[in-house]
Chain A
Amino acid sequence: MISVRNLSKNFGGVDAVSDISFEVSAGNTMVLLGTSGCGKTTTLKMLNRLIEPTSGEIRIDDRDVFSAKPEILRRGIGYVSQNNGLFPHFTVAENIAVVPRLLKWDRSKTEKRTTELLEQLRLPFVKYAHKYPDELSGGQKQRVSLARALVADPSLLLMDEPFGALDPITRADIRKEFLELPELKRKTILLVTHDVQEAFELGDQISLMDKGRIVQSGSAQDLIFKPANDFVSNFFSHHKLQLELSSLKIHEIWHALRDAAPDSNSTAITSNSSFWEVLELLSDHKEKVLTIKNAENDIKSVSLENIQSAYTRIKQNR
Chain B
Amino acid sequence: MTTQITPGPSRVHVRTTINGQAHEFLVPPYMSLLDTLREIVGLTGTKEGCLDGNCGACTVSLDGRIVDSCLVLGAEINGKSVETVEGMATANGLHPLQQAFLEEAALQCGICTPGFLVAAKGLLDNEPAPDEHRIRHWLAGNLCRCTGYDKIVRAVQKASAEMA
- Whether A and B are associated in the same complex: the answer reads no
- Could you tell me which A residues sit within 8 Å of B by CB distance? none
- Could you tell me which B residues sit within 8 Å of A by CB distance? none
